[in-house]
Every structure is written in structure tokens, then in C-alpha cells.
Amino acid sequence: MNQKQLEQQSHHDPPVARIASIMVSAVDAESLAAFWSRFLAVEVASRFDQFIWLNLPDLFPGSPERRTGAGDML
């Protein structure tokens, strides 16, 4: 893309954010990880010392819908 295309795209596409991780402090990380893995129906991805990572799904799949309102300029 050239500079003009990037500028045009930035005026039309809303910003997109992604949650990469959430850290929780717990006395019993194993029990907490077991609870959340059952609740979210996901597996433990990895462990390192007292840290546990879960395989989380995309929390916001798809692209955001474009809404128009009184303050929007198209």
C-alpha cells in the first residue's frame, strides 16, 4: 500500500484491539487454572514455575460492524 491508500484506509476502518493476556494472582494457581479451563472449555497451554497459561479462544471474533450515528462522518 502506498501512503495515500494508508491514509484513506485509516479514515474508514475503526481501530481493532485484541486482549493478549490476563494475569491473575492466586494462592492456588493450579485450582484456579482448573476452574477457568473447565468454565471456558479450554486446555492448559503451558506451565512455568507458578505461572499457567490457558489456550484462550478469540474473545471478539470477526470485525466490528460499522455503525453510523449523529457524530459519525462518512
* pLDDT, one tens digit for every residue, the chain (74 residues): 677 766 666 566 677 776 777 788 889 999 999 998 899 888 898 998 888 888 877 665 655 555 555 554 44
Domain definitions of the chain by residue range: 25-57
Collapsed DSSP state (helix, strand, coil) of residue 4: helix
The reply to whether the predicted model has a pTM over 0.75 is: no
**Element of type H or E holding 10:** helix 3-12
Residues in the chain: 74
